Amino acid sequence: MAGKVWLVGAGPSDAGLLTVRGSQVLAEAQVVVYDALVGAGILNLIPEEAERISVGKRAGCHTMPQEEINRVLCEKALEGKRVVRLKGGDPFLFGRGGEELELLSAHGIPFEVVPGVTSAIAVPAYCGIPVTHRDCASSVHIITGHKRAGETYDIDFEALVRTGGTLVFLMGHKALSEICQGLLLGGMDPKMPAALLMQGTSADQRRIVATVSTLAREAAGQETVTPAIIVVGHVCSYEKQFSWYEKQPLSGHRILVTRPRERSGQLSDRLRRLGAEVLEIAAIQTAPLPVELPAMSEYEYLVFTSPAGVRIFFDRWMEMGRDVRSLGLVRIAAIGPGTARELSMRGIFADLMPEVSDGEHLGILLGETVKDGDRILIPRAKEGNPKLLEEIRKRKQVQITELAIYDTVYGKKEGLVDQKALVEAGKISMAVFTSASTVRGFAAATEGLDYSRVRAVCIGRQTAAAAADLGMETYTAQEATIDSLVECVQTTVKKC
């Protein structure tokens, strides 16, 4: 039975510009065939279990010929798979999407097209350039700037000049001089504003604004990089007045956010709203262990040391046919606000929570609260922090039952985003760690990295200690909350 193929436009780079429909389709993919220009943040959204096939597709460098790409899409669909063809920008704007559909159509394979945000519109917008404006541009014309080596442009430059509209050239970085010269020979005013916009919508976004007669010379005197687009027209003169992206607090910063695989990106969303380019890395995974949970009537205290522990405990609790009424009169302790929040989502409020969110202070609080002879159940990770137990036992004679309900699996070295290479290239402003386990997961995925090059923003003392042990430059949030962690990121950016 044939599967189905979705042609999905991934947009220019910023993961926030992937459409809702594109995100939904990608989450359900069994096979993803992706281009080199797809943003790293979007690549991280590809399901871990999906087969991933890179086909390159940068200008002048194709890992896989187009005919082979078409064949792969067809073969995978005929295997009954849900196949996503993930393309930078929009699949039908110089993306050869039509060619890919021809073979699918010939074989009767169902397909769907999910349009993407094109760089021709988005990148100028991120650079403060409206491609149309009532006062000076009532039309916009998008032209491919790509041509084969040794060939001349098959472009009617005179006709483009006569339109009087904004001209956007995609894939024309290498031919900037020829494009500008063609426009001048076609009759364009040498003083017409023009811009070269590089790596738009990313932390590396940069632009050169000049005139059509001087842009090539200006660009030759600077380091230019791809992907890049060329915009020509009066609208380029608005770039300073309408500039907004660079004015955000975290603009220009690429931040690595490490997290458990199961956690959603509340922290990442907050950082993106402040202008950061965020790469979410699933540094660790929590694997539930097959355990039988005892009756709570056997204990006076139930202690949770992580949000994951809360989720896994209550998932198992319900599997065993129990609900919150089965907790009885047991008192519940949480290590910090995140863990307390997980409890509150189940209608449970923590009786105890230390002011400092770590095992040591939780142990001190419990030791000062419990009575001699009390029984304490601590469902937590297989390898838990011993400080918690030590601090309790210093203060009271109690019966403690440690119950390993999950194991921590560290991040894989293989991945679509090479964290180590990005750090070594100076492309990461900082890494944000939400637990000591995520520090260890990051280290497992970047073995051999010089960790002194990592600026680590940490949620608490134990997390910072784990980062410092590796030689990272550490900064610690004042409180173990998302708000405090975001504030620490902004403070760190100002210091650095």
∠ Cα 165 168 173 (to 5°): 145
Distances (CA, A) of 308 to 270, 272, 354: 21, 24, 18
Structure-block tokens of residue 478: 């004042």
Catalytic positions, written as ranges: 35, 57, 171
Cβ atoms of 3 and 78 within 8 Å: the answer is yes
Q: Which residue, 444, 453, 295, is CA-closest to 377?
A: 295
Alpha carbons 200 and 207: distance in angstroms, whole number: 9
Alpha carbons 197 and 226: distance in angstroms, whole number: 9
Alpha carbons 173 and 146: distance in angstroms, whole number: 8
Provide the CA 339 distance to its chain's centre, in angstroms. 24
The single-letter code of the amino acid at 69 is I
Cβ atoms of 222 and 107 within 8 Å: the answer is no
The b/e string for 435-446 (b: 16+ C-beta within 10 A; e otherwise) is: bbbbbbbbbebb
Length of the chain as a residue count: 496
Alpha carbons 346 and 348: distance in angstroms, whole number: 6
Phi then psi dihedrals of residue 123, to 5 deg = -65, -45
**Helix H or strand E encompassing 344:** helix 337-344
Quote the DSSP letter at residue 374. Answer: -
Q: Which residue, 209, 279, 224, 274, is CA-closest to 245?
A: 274
Distances (CA, A) of 220 to 139, 147, 173, 395: 29, 20, 11, 71
Structure-block tokens of residue 378: 């601590």
- Which residues have C-beta within 8 Å of that of residue 303, sequence separation ≥ 6? 332, 333, 362, 366, 376, 377, 378, 388
Q: Where are the alpha helices (DSSP H) in 164-257?
A: 176-185, 215-220
Alpha carbons 368 and 364: distance in angstroms, whole number: 6
